[in-house]
Amino acid sequence: MDPLSTRRAAVAALLLSFGPVLRALEPSQPTESQIKAAFLLNFTKFIEWPAGEASAPGTPFPICLAGEDPFGGFLDQLVEGENVNGRKIAVRHLHGEPQGTCGILYVSRQEKNVPELLAAAGPGVLTVGEGDSFLDEGGMIAFVLEDRRVRFNIDKSAAQKAGLKLSSRLLGVARTVR
Amino acid sequence: MSLALTFRPMLSRRIQDVPIRRKLLVITVVTTAAALLLSGAGIVLADSFLFRGYLERDLSALARMTADNSTAALQFEDPSAASEILHALRARSHMVAACIYRPNGTVLAQYIRTGAPDACPPKNTPEGIEFTKGGLVLSRPVLLLDRPVGSLTLLYDLDEIGERMRLYGATVLLVLIAASLIAFVLSSRLRELIASPLAQLVQATEAVSRTGDYGIRARKVSGDELGVLVDAFNQMLTSIQSRDLELLEALEAREEALRQSRDARDQLAGLNADLAQSNEKLGRSNEDLERFAFVASHDLQEPLRMITLFSQLLVRGHSGSATDESAGYVRNIVASARRMRDLLSDLLAYTDIGSGSLDSAQPVDLNQTLGHVLENLKASIQESGAVISTGPLPALRAHEGHFVSLFQNLIANAIKYRSGGRPEIRISYGRGNGWLRFAVRDNGIGIEPEYHTKIFVAFKRLHGQNIAGTGIGLAICQRVVDRYRGKIWVESEAGKGAEFIFTLPEELLAPEE
């Protein structure tokens, strides 16, 4: 076997082994924000909310987006037809106004007064943000990038304090759990 | 086919010749082995059937669990978590591959058993469980809140089934060996139970046939069929023994009887020989005697005739000169000589009857014979005035002279021994029961019954010299009748006449012309 074909074979093997990653980079593959939007939606399937305002039957399950919409309306499309415990999902875009009732509060990277937002979120609200510092500021789930892959860290005790029950499967796929 | 045909009798004969205790061993071991093999085969069959079901259920549960566990990994696109979940399956050594597919069919994570060449198959397997050549393929969706979020495929090899078969086979084999050992050990106990009573019986049988002693008895060890057999055997010996004894006694008795009868026969044979000897001696002396009597009477006739002739000449020549006294003497001489002549002629006749063969006999008409007789007796008939009546007589094959003598003597006697008046003599003949019956009846002086047999003996005379006679007449009659195998006897009482009867066999009748 000549050196050239050997190298070619090695490249092919490399390509194959990183298949999913490479595919994620393809144009047709979802973008980082799209993935995060999907994760937001998927969180609802692994978390139990306590009985309360946010989970009143008959009312839509509110996902609140604080600040500028990082998903560019993608989340709105995504939740179409989805539900949480039989409740429709409604995406609410907060632009500085009081939160009101939220099931999930997503705090984007652009938000400056994170602690305020977090303090305003009452019990029974899952707070999701960006970066490890988000957990330090009192958030529950923080998206992080690892090897160009979207992953998340979880502060389990914060979630528990808020009365949320996180599925062990969710904890299983988290990058770190504190 | 022919192999099986020849093999079976050979085998069965070989088995038949094997001692019973070895048969017991074979039966025990074969039965045990058969039972074990059957139950082993049954277990393996049932297991291979049940095991597939078990395997299906087990894999389904496993798949469901894995699928449930991998929901989050699918939802959050986490191949490493999925891989981790799948790697938990490596505890199952028969799990060849496990693959988690995203909803679009691409592989999120896979577990390939080390050494297994295949990667995950493209996601086109139909849902469900399927036994294929390579093994069991199970495919199911990964559901989250009843919605499919991906799918799972498990590849499971079926080596386990073979392994289980081998395990069962080894177990059955081990149990078989152990059971055979136990059977072997048990068979020694069985030998005690069955073979030793049998051995007792066999010993007894051999002892009996070797020694011939029917007093031997087999020892009864058990109360089962063998015990019954021993009892029956002993009973048989008893009956054989008693029969043997009876037989022996009968044999002895028979030998004794044989010996006795042999002795008796020997004695009888001796007596017979003696008898034959004396008979022969007697016959010879009788023959000598008769020859002597014949020769004597024949040769005496000539000198007697001379005596008579010269005496008559003497009487005639000296009729004038001789004294009355001497004339009387000479007359006496003549009379004596005549009597002597009669005696000699009778003796000749008597001896003549015994000689000569009857083969030369000719048909004789007894009517004519009787005529000759009456002619011969003419003088005495006329003198006595006897009346002789006769019926028709048959013709016989005989010597006429014999019957002349017979009738002449009987008629002469009837005339001679007459009572006072005129003699009436009746000659009759009849036939019956194979016999010819002749009778000569008179009205003479009769004979007392005590003399009825004596009179047929020669020279036995009842009346001394009063009545002339040679004393041979009836002896001659007896001899003639004897010669023709007939019988003669007299029926008479004193003073009431006599009837002389003789019978002759019918065969004597001359064939009629």
DSSP track, B237-263: HHHHHHHHHHHHHHHHHHHHHHHHHHH
Chain B contact for A23 (CB, 8 A cutoff): yes
Chain A contact for B71 (CB, 8 A cutoff): yes
Q: Test B73 with A172 for CB contact under 8 angstroms.
A: yes
Chain B contact for A21 (CB, 8 A cutoff): no
Chain B contact for A46 (CB, 8 A cutoff): yes
Instruction: Between B95 and B16, name the one with better pLDDT.
Output: B95
Instruction: Between B495 and B424, name the one with better pLDDT.
Output: B424
Of the pLDDT bands very low, low, confident and very high (cuts 50, 70, 90), residue B12 is low
Q: What is the pLDDT of residue B162?
A: 80
Q: Which residues of B touch A19 (CB under 8 A)?
A: 106
Q: Which of A169, A171, A175, A176 to mutate to test the interface with B (most CBs of B within 10 A)?
A: A169
Q: What is the pLDDT of residue A26?
A: 45
Mean pLDDT, to the nearest integer, of B4-18? Answer: 62
A20, A42, A170 member nearest B79 (Cβ): A20
Q: Which residues of A touch B69 (CB under 8 A)?
A: 169, 172
Give the minimum alpha-carbon distance from B78 to chain A in angstroms, rounded to a whole number: 6
Q: What is the pLDDT of residue B260?
A: 93
Q: What is the pTM of this model?
A: 0.48
> Is pLDDT at B8 greater than 70 in this prediction?
no
Give the minimum alpha-carbon distance from A73 to chain B in angstroms, rounded to a whole number: 20
| Closest-CA residue to B341 (of B384, B312, B382, B373) | B312
The DSSP-derived string for B433-450 is TTEEEEEEE--SS---GG
pLDDT, tens digit, 9 for 90 and up, residues B327-342: 788 888 888 888 888 8
> CA-based angle B250:B254:B256, to the nearest 5?
120
pLDDT, tens digit, 9 for 90 and up, residues B349-392: 888 787 767 777 788 899 999 999 999 899 889 988 889 999 89
Mean pLDDT, to the nearest integer, of A107-131? Answer: 85
A20, A35, A169 member nearest B72 (Cβ): A169
Of the pLDDT bands very low, low, confident and very high (cuts 50, 70, 90), residue B432 is confident
Q: Test A20 with B72 for CB contact under 8 angstroms.
A: no
Task: Calculate what percentage of chain A has a pLDDT beyond 90.
Answer: 12
Q: Which residues of B touch A149 (CB under 8 A)?
A: 77
Instruction: Between B219 and B97, name the one with better pLDDT.
Output: B97
Provide the 8-state DSSP code for B453.
T
> Is pLDDT at B6 greater than 80 in this prediction?
no
| Closest-CA residue to A79 (of A69, A89, A71) | A89
Q: Test A169 with B145 for CB contact under 8 angstroms.
A: no
Q: What is the pLDDT of residue B258?
A: 93
Chain A contact for B122 (CB, 8 A cutoff): no
Q: Which residues of B touch A45 (CB under 8 A)?
A: 71, 75, 144-145
A45, A151, A169 member nearest B69 (Cβ): A169
Of the pLDDT bands very low, low, confident and very high (cuts 50, 70, 90), residue A20 is very low
Of the pLDDT bands very low, low, confident and very high (cuts 50, 70, 90), residue B223 is confident
Chain B contact for A170 (CB, 8 A cutoff): yes
> Is pLDDT at B344 greater than 60 in this prediction?
yes
Domains and CATH numbers, chain A: 3-177 (3.40.50)
Q: Test B75 with A45 for CB contact under 8 angstroms.
A: yes
Q: In chain A, which residue's Cα lies nearest the Cα of B83? A: A173
Q: Test B71 with A169 for CB contact under 8 angstroms.
A: yes
| Half-sphere exposure of residue A105: CA atoms within 13 angstroms, side-chain side | 32
| Closest-CA residue to B183 (of B42, B21, B56) | B21
Q: What is the pLDDT of residue B331?
A: 80
Q: What is the pLDDT of residue B504?
A: 93
- Token pair of B27 as six digits: 């039966």
| Closest-CA residue to B438 (of B413, B415, B414, B406) | B406
Task: Calculate what percentage of chain B has a pLDDT beyond 90.
Answer: 19
Q: What is the pLDDT of residue B430?
A: 92
Secondary structure of residue B25 in the 3-state scheme: helix
Mean pLDDT, to the nearest integer, of A74-78? Answer: 87
Q: Test B78 with A173 for CB contact under 8 angstroms.
A: yes
Chain A contact for B205 (CB, 8 A cutoff): no
| Half-sphere exposure of residue B400: CA atoms within 13 angstroms, side-chain side | 13
Chain B contact for A172 (CB, 8 A cutoff): yes
Instruction: Between A96 and B42, name the one with better pLDDT.
Output: B42
> Is pLDDT at A84 greater than 70 in this prediction?
yes
Q: What is the pLDDT of residue A23?
A: 42
Q: What is the pLDDT of residue B473?
A: 84
User: Which of the residue ranges A44-58, B52-66, B439-453, B469-483 would you say has the lowest mean pLDDT?
Assistant: A44-58
Token pair 């999902």 in the structure block, residue: A89
Strand partners, B142: B150
Looking at every residue in chain B, the average pLDDT score rounds to 84
Give the minimum alpha-carbon distance from A41 to chain B in angstroms, rounded to a whole number: 10
Q: Test A170 with B71 for CB contact under 8 angstroms.
A: no
Q: Which residues of A touch B144 (CB under 8 A)?
A: 45
Q: Which of A173, A175, A176, A177 to mutate to test the interface with B (most CBs of B within 10 A)?
A: A173
CA B20, distance to chain mean position in Å, is 39
Buried-state track B133-155, b at ≥16 Cβ within 10 A, e below 16: eebbbbbbebebeeeebbbbbbb
Please, which residues 181-200 of chain B have a Cβ atom closer than 8 Å to chain A?
Answer: none
User: Which of the residue ranges A85-94, B203-212, B288-297, B485-494 would you say has the lowest mean pLDDT?
Assistant: B288-297
Mean pLDDT, to the nearest integer, of B186-203? Answer: 76
> Is pLDDT at B437 greater than 90 in this prediction?
yes
> Is pLDDT at A62 greater than 70 in this prediction?
yes
Of the pLDDT bands very low, low, confident and very high (cuts 50, 70, 90), residue A14 is very low
| CB of A114 closer than 8 Å to CB of A139 | yes
Q: What is the pLDDT of residue B10?
A: 57
B72, B77, B108 member nearest A170 (Cβ): B72
Chain B contact for A20 (CB, 8 A cutoff): yes
Q: Test A20 with B106 for CB contact under 8 angstroms.
A: yes
Task: Calculate what percentage of chain A has a pLDDT beyond 70.
Answer: 79
User: Which of the residue ranges A73-82, B14-23, B293-302, B340-349 would you say has the lowest mean pLDDT?
Assistant: B14-23
Taking residue B236's Cβ as centre, other Cβ atoms within 10 Å add up to 11
Q: What is the pLDDT of residue B513?
A: 56
pLDDT, tens digit, 9 for 90 and up, residues B396-410: 988 888 899 899 999
Secondary structure of residue A65 in the 3-state scheme: strand
| CB of B107 closer than 8 Å to CB of B100 | yes
B68, B76, B145 member nearest A173 (Cβ): B76
> Is pLDDT at B1 greater than 70 in this prediction?
no
Mean pLDDT, to the nearest integer, of B253-258? Answer: 93
> CA-based angle B153:B155:B158, to the nearest 5?
150
Q: What is the pLDDT of residue B320?
A: 60
Give the minimum alpha-carbon distance from B82 to chain A in angstroms, rounded to a whole number: 9
Q: How far apart are CA B404 and CA B396, in angstroms?
A: 13
Q: What is the pLDDT of residue B367?
A: 92
> Is pLDDT at B9 greater than 60 in this prediction?
no
| CB of A24 closer than 8 Å to CB of A148 | yes
> Is pLDDT at B192 greater than 80 in this prediction?
no
Q: How far apart are CA B230 and CA B194, in angstroms?
A: 12
User: Which of the residue ranges A35-49, A118-132, B340-354 would you say has the lowest mean pLDDT?
Assistant: B340-354
Q: Which residues of B touch A172 (CB under 8 A)?
A: 69, 72-73, 81
Q: Which residues of A touch B119 (CB under 8 A)?
A: none
End-to-end Cα distance, chain B = 94
Pairing of strands A149-154, A176-177: parallel
Mean pLDDT, to the nearest integer, of B476-499? Answer: 89
Q: What is the pLDDT of residue B465?
A: 59
Helices (H), chain A: 3-17, 19-25, 32-43, 74-78, 114-120, 132-136, 156-161, 168-173
Please, which residues 47-106 of chain A have a Cβ atom closer than 8 Å to chain B?
Answer: none
Helices (H), A62-107: 74-78
Q: Test B73 with A42 for CB contact under 8 angstroms.
A: no
Burial of residue B160 (CB within 10 Å: 0-12, 13-18, 19+) is middle
Of the pLDDT bands very low, low, confident and very high (cuts 50, 70, 90), residue B134 is confident
Secondary structure of residue B392 in the 3-state scheme: coil
Q: Which residues of A touch B73 (CB under 8 A)?
A: 169, 172-173
Of the pLDDT bands very low, low, confident and very high (cuts 50, 70, 90), residue A55 is low
